[in-house]
Amino acid sequence: AANETPLLIAVQTVTNGMGGVSWNTGSTAHVYLQAVEPGTATLVYSFYGTGEAEGIVSRASMKLTAVSINIDGDYYRNGIPADHPLEADAVFFTNDVGMVILPNKNDDTDDGIPNVDCADNVINGHTDLADIYALRISRLGISYDAIPDGLTIELSIKNPEGEPLGMPAAQNRVRIFRSLDQNAQGVVGPVPLTDKVLFRKNPGPNDMDMSLLVGFGYYNVGIEGISHGTEVVVQLTAKVNGQELASDAIRLLISPFLVLSNTDKATKIFVANASGWEDFYNEMVFALDGIIPVVEYGSDFTQDYAEIGATMSAPNQLERKRCTIAGFFGDRYADQVAQDTGFFHIQAGNPGGNIEASPPISGFPYGRLIVGSGLQANIKQLLEAQKIQTDNGRMIELPVGWLRVKHIDEVMAIIPVGSDFKVLVADFQQAIDLLRNNPEEEIWEPYNEFDGTRSQILSAYDNNPEKVTEINTELAAVRHILAQELGIDDSNFIKVPVAFKIVGGGSYDTVLPNMVNMVVIKPLSGNPVLVVPHPGFVPFATALSN
């Protein structure tokens, strides 16, 4: 029962009925043992006869072994594993405590073959050790000879309770290594490994040797992160012949994938080049000369096939930040992994233009995610699971299902303005007014052959007023949602004239190059730069410049 006084402590002898000590001696009576510290002891229970039984003695003894079962991680985020009573509680990235590890998605090898470090089952040399974290296991506190037969120590991982179905299994979230040696092999993790490893006195090929845990002090194993934004429970369990005796657990978080805002600084830009696109590529290179390095990459819509983000350390940790690319299409961008660049793949086609992030705003120090309402389910699940750029898992969803491309970069863009930001939004009515009020101007010839002349475009609008109203209503909804969710007002919006093609059935497309769908670059030094598509109608460009 709670608050009971101990009947007996080490090196003491007590006698039933003497000195105020008594206990039940019936055949069903129990006494209970508590280990105070590791070691071995012998419990002796004796009956001494009295009266006519004087001189009769009955004695039994039991050998006891107490072992230390304790596992610790970097709870205080100072790089030193430490014990704490709350170490198995849920971990929140934005808190000051709770173990957080970076996913080991970069490439620290020097073999010239781009490959993420966590794709193999080994620590990849001394440079990779910076991405491996220590788990501290207390040694048992007994000698090797004192280890009881049948004792095993199980090191295992599991998903936290209460997670929704479909989340990755724990063994696909982290990998545990035998030690912190620079070439240590994995023992727990993705196939062919499993979700646990056993310390045994007579270890098999997949076990660990119990001798590593004899004596006092600590033994360190290494752990690396694999799955962004997920949590894992790491548990140490003592068993004798399969029966659990004691356990200890810690919980850790793999640092989330952060979508970068256009207000974040950039060090290079990927630009596609293809047959028929040479003018586009060459003019981009010319426009960005001396501002930022241009990397020729791909021959199609480079922006849509990836999201370039970041992974970073949590508050209170030694500050680290790494560019991380989420590739959505085959092996696109996998060749960009390097020591300073991480990569992971999730097959989704071309959703890159349907994902944006705001700069930090009130209540959201890492910004808020902005996505289109039709974002692919697996990408939506991935981003929601990262949590810190969402409102309790909820992203800002804009209604863009009425667009043919269904991407938010057709209707909005965020640009840096001093230490703040503005939101560019498509304005259909402004485009109509500029077309109508500038009869002396004409659509640029390469475009009017495809999109029509100024008068032809206006005629389509005049003949379809209900479609004009529909598009204006959709764009008003976009502005309303952004204002409400970002906590901004009309002064934070810059309306950009965008003309839409309304003939034909189904969804809508832009009728001229869309100036909202621009490239925004904030270089390491100097002013931000906007690279804007020429709209094919001079008054549109003049309106944006103004």
pLDDT of the residue at 205 = 94
Please say if the pLDDT value at position 1 is more than 70: no
pLDDT of the residue at 11 = 77
**How does DSSP classify residue 312?**
E
Q: Which CATH superfamily is domain 71-254 in?
A: Protein-arginine deiminase, central domain (2.60.40.1700)
Q: Name, in order, each residue with C-beta under 8 angstroms of 396's C-beta and a sequence gap of 6 or more.
A: 358, 368, 369, 370, 371, 481, 482, 485, 486
Q: Do domains 71-254 and 256-398 have the same CATH topology?
A: no
Question: What mean pLDDT comes out for the span 46-67?
Answer: 86
Of the candidates 369, 367, 348, the residue with the CA atom closest to the CA atom of residue 359:
367
Cα 532 to Cα 523: distance, rounded to the nearest angstrom: 16
Cα 487 to Cα 318: distance, rounded to the nearest angstrom: 32
Taking only the tens place, the pLDDT of each residue in 489-531 is 999 999 999 999 987 666 899 989 999 999 999 999 999 999 9
Cα 524 to Cα 266: distance, rounded to the nearest angstrom: 6
Cα 359 to Cα 288: distance, rounded to the nearest angstrom: 23
pLDDT of the residue at 53 = 85
DSSP H or E stretch at residue 60 = strand 57-66
Residue-range domain boundaries for the chain = 1-66, 71-254, 256-398, 416-546
Cα 101 to Cα 225: distance, rounded to the nearest angstrom: 6
3-state SS, 139-207, equals: CCCCCHHHCCCCEEEEEEEECCCCCCCCCCCHHHCEEEECCCCCCCEEEECCCCCECEEEEECCCCCCC
What is the band of 51 on the pLDDT scale with cuts at 50, 70, 90? confident
Classified by CATH at the fold level, domain 256-398 comes out as L-arginine/glycine Amidinotransferase; Chain A (3.75.10)
